[in-house]
Structure 1
């Protein structure tokens, strides 16, 4: 079945764009926005660095197995690994890794490969996740459009854009995490800026297709055994309001820095040294909680 896309109103919708080509594109992404909100200096430094980090291999590999796309995964033979921790130290192991990566493959040690397979299986065995992933749609879609307020060129890359006959267009994203308890996920959403990701992708879909998509659906899977899975929807209006506020702050800051050619750090105002206030939860753990309540 070929699922027709709605007509493109503005911007671009690209299927099958190479991942390196996408990440090399100069448009501002939701990841860039999160870096900007830390500081413009940090954002500029991140843009100049090679983003290919080994710690991301597990997440990329899990995506490849769950979504059926992305860099092929290859397991390095255990006989090439060295020592108790099975390190890639020998000349043969280093050559195997270099050759595989030159062919665009993700290289994993046997134990990591087995863990990634278990993670992917856990997602595909979860009824809610499987139901969403089996909907017709498009995988790894690259989105490009201009913010109508600031004119900043934006980009986003959806894991999957699914279609439900009753709900309409439904954006999906798979995430690895350490704990899928609901209270832990709310912290992860704030700490990793998934609320910003939600509203950026939502805006891109509205700009490109002129449609009103469903709130973002996240499929979270734990990295450690037993790899529990939780599927959540960003349907609470507070997520949208908070995400939009952060997105707008990042867009305004990007436009300001671009216009002036200045990318300051987080504490460069030259003023007085400020006290660092203890958070409420810290006070609550001590007798100070009673003193200052």
Structure 2
């Protein structure tokens, strides 16, 4: 069984700041890390490999320093890593990113057929959740999103039974393989990496491809040229206001509460004519 996990290098959003002049993320203000959802995707691939055997490949698109997250994926349990890195990919939105990754996946599949693709639910720096389904659409394979459990894999019949989270519950879905999953963090717990994996990861060098190494690529669909969406502005959300402290006797506090409730009532009772 050949599993490919798509991973992304992202800034640590707990530390990153926004440049007030350019209204863009100041990526230099925070260290780059493996997208947390993608770490769970790699962990799930390692779990499936332990149960079913096979091979795990990881794929990323990014600058040369993104080799570090591939090394981290090898530490978790991946066998092989691929990085597509080229200035032609710069500025890609989710549409252009899914196109570039799908072309890389086609090349990987030509070397060894892919049974399953796993992605994180979304990247913490964009939070769109669009790249995974976009890849599935381009490869014409079924996508299953928000997966929280791989219930069963039938390699003989090439099917996989999955539990996915909904806004109001859960559902079980059986999909034909090859297919693509996007996973939630609750699908597993990240385990401590064994020492042999850590040693191998430290020494590992992934396969690096440029645009010219991929087959049948339309360069107009890459990077900024292939990105119809533009981020007009980014800003930090306003800090929540503190609660109002009620003072005085209990009777006075009740009066203040009634006054606040009446203000809210007037706000919601206001009619707007359009």
With the shorter chain as reference, the TM-score category is under 0.3
Normalised by the length of structure 2, the TM-score is: 0.28
TM-score, length of structure 1 as denominator length: 0.26
Q: Answer 1 or 2: which has greater strand percent.
A: 2
Q: Which one has the bigger helix percentage?
A: 1
